[in-house]
Chain A
């Protein structure tokens, strides 16, 4: 220990110098551009390099698998079984035709073989259904050097393991502290900035400052996640008095959208850190926060939102109508509440590229802190945002039809599957009313025969 003494001051000096250098670099390359909304393009170069490395890694794994004469496990996002898209009627008629030697007639009747249709359809859904796979992270076709996405452990050679180890080192020892420092800076600036702005008298200056404080802090948070975002059609960005709706994949969606536009947030009042941030934000500009008890009262919610929307000086509201996080391969049923208000709807489609880091928040598996940690130890969050042209409800449309129309537009633009299922299926069972539709269709095929026979 005595041997270290003469080097002690050297080490301390070195540490001090490197920290100063780090912070200066941080300031120049990240925080200052964030304030002015410009970019050096460092992240794009980073992205391209990573892609090349991933392609190389997958090639090595395939080679390793070929040496052992195996096939690499490649996940199928479109389902693992071959399906025929035929209707209930056609299928049952075909089953009867194949089993019956009687002449084919169209009189309704029941056959023992009808059960095969329901039996097979049921088994198909057990093997593969549209909904269950939307609530777990999307599976990648090529490996991205994260142990969390690897299914082919046995084919990793020594070189790949070294590369992976290097990746772990970079992500946990370099990127993670950097990102945490940035996130800390961003959040504290937001809280302090909005509180200070809140002391100003209401007016043009206050709005101007508030907007720029919000934007700056969200931009710093975007860099804290190394989010590489491409915005399309920015001319369609939401305006005052409108509602912005988007598909929901994770809490990060808010940061992504709010770093490119000034929105009024809607949400439940939380405790802890979130609560502090919420209370600070609302001092600078009118966000809409609901108490837990108020959330249950749909009329109250609708009333407050309508009031906000009708005041043209107020900012556009940001809402996620799915109500829960979906894994970004599909869009699920939109809750009709926001579509009943009667304001102009500005749809936004957000599509993440899971190659660099899956942004989906599987809330049944990970809590918020674990989730943020996973985000900050991924390579990057890459996504595309499309601003779609505004839509309004037509005269003969009800809220549900309007919601579905908006949903289809978003699904089409983002290349997502458009599903009618409710995102609430994550936690609850489906209602019995849907079963009745199947039963109605089948009944038509077997009833009516009795009436003929009773006459003969």
Chain B
């Protein structure tokens, strides 16, 4: 009787995902439809290849790193809960957020600290809590491609690590990273607003 529409009504575990991420029901529904649109073979999860198919992401110099952030701990699949969890980092900060007011609740995913942690792990490849000079170099190389010589890039990396490194261990820890960005309006720059 006519093929069922490709959109299921409600995502599975909608309530627990809503509590964890803080998305409204309407936003979650839109994200779920997006998840289903990306999941071309209707597997119920996304693989790296599904995300690599997005043309505009493939031309982003940090595209591969961003895709990696969806697959923590060596996973090769991400289900809708994991998808929403990563995207929750970019939810705009809302002053009336119940999570912000209650100190006993776990920190909401879109807090300033968590947004900074997300950006930090794009630099920190081996997840050791520090951005070494090498890791800085690797990220720089991704962002400039072949346009800049090795020496220029090395000196930029050296200078950046030097400026941010407070305790002199030759690497940038998360605390030092936060300190160097303390004046930045992270809440606004790392937020994506979903239309109602």
A-B interaction: yes
Instruction: Kindly state whether residue A127 has any CB partner on chain B within 8 Å.
Output: yes
Name the prevailing secondary structure of the B interface residues: helix
User: Contact partner of A115 among B3, B62, B145, CB < 8 A?
Assistant: B62
Question: What is the CB-to-nearest-CB distance from A117 to chain B, in angstroms, rounded to a whole number?
Answer: 8
A120 touches B34 (CB 8 A): no
Instruction: Kindly state whether residue A71 has any CB partner on chain B within 8 Å.
Output: yes
**What 1/0 mask marks residues of chain B from 21 to 49 whose CB sits below 8 Å from any chain A CB?**
00000100111011001101000000000
A149 touches B184 (CB 8 A): no
Instruction: Kindly state whether residue B57 has any CB partner on chain A within 8 Å.
Output: yes
A123 touches B29 (CB 8 A): no
Interface centre among B56, B66, B87, B159 (most CB of A within 10 A): B56
**What 1/0 mask marks residues of chain A from 103 to 131 whose CB sits below 8 Å from any chain B CB?**
00000001111111111111111111111
> How long is the Cα–Cα vector from A119 to B155 in the complex, in angstroms?
24
B33 cross-chain contacts in A, Cβ below 8 A:
75
Given contacts A80-B30, A148-B5, A364-B40, contact A131 B56 (CB under 8 A): yes
Given contacts A110-B156, A130-B56, contact A123 B37 (CB under 8 A): no
B55 cross-chain contacts in A, Cβ below 8 A:
129, 131, 421, 425, 429-430
A129 touches B156 (CB 8 A): no
Given contacts A151-B5, A447-B152, contact A115 B123 (CB under 8 A): yes
A151 touches B62 (CB 8 A): no
Question: What is the CB-to-nearest-CB distance from B118 to chain A, in angstroms, rounded to a whole number?
Answer: 8
> How long is the Cα–Cα vector from A121 to B59 in the complex, in angstroms?
11
Instruction: Kindly state whether residue A154 has any CB partner on chain B within 8 Å.
Output: yes
How many A-B residue pairs have C-beta atoms within 8 angstroms? Tell me.
194
Give residues of chain A (405-453) contacting chain B, Cβ–Cβ below 8 Å. Answer: 421, 425, 429-430, 434-440, 442-443, 446-447, 449-450, 453
User: Contact partner of A98 among B6, B54, B66, B189, CB < 8 A?
Assistant: B189
B87 touches A123 (CB 8 A): yes
Question: What is the CB-to-nearest-CB distance from A208 to chain B, in angstroms, rounded to a whole number?
Answer: 43
A112 touches B66 (CB 8 A): no
A150 cross-chain contacts in B, Cβ below 8 A:
5
Interface centre among B52, B140, B177 (most CB of A within 10 A): B140
Question: What is the CB-to-nearest-CB distance from B121 to chain A, in angstroms, rounded to a whole number?
Answer: 10
Instruction: Kindly state whether residue B100 has any CB partner on chain A within 8 Å.
Output: no
Question: What is the CB-to-nearest-CB distance from B79 to chain A, in angstroms, rounded to a whole number?
Answer: 15
B26 touches A71 (CB 8 A): yes
A429 touches B52 (CB 8 A): yes
B4 touches A148 (CB 8 A): yes
Question: What is the CB-to-nearest-CB distance from B91 to chain A, in angstroms, rounded to a whole number?
Answer: 11
Give residues of chain B (130-186) contacting chain A, Cβ–Cβ below 8 Å. Answer: 139-140, 143-148, 151-152, 155-156, 159-160, 164, 172, 177, 180-181, 183-186
Q: B-contacting residues of A (Cβ < 8 Å)?
A: 71, 73, 75-76, 79-82, 95, 98-101, 110-133, 136, 146-154, 168, 364, 374, 377, 421, 425, 429-430, 434-440, 442-443, 446-447, 449-450, 453-454
5 residue pairs bridging A and B, Cβ less than 8 Å apart: A112-B177, A136-B6, A151-B9, A437-B59, A442-B144
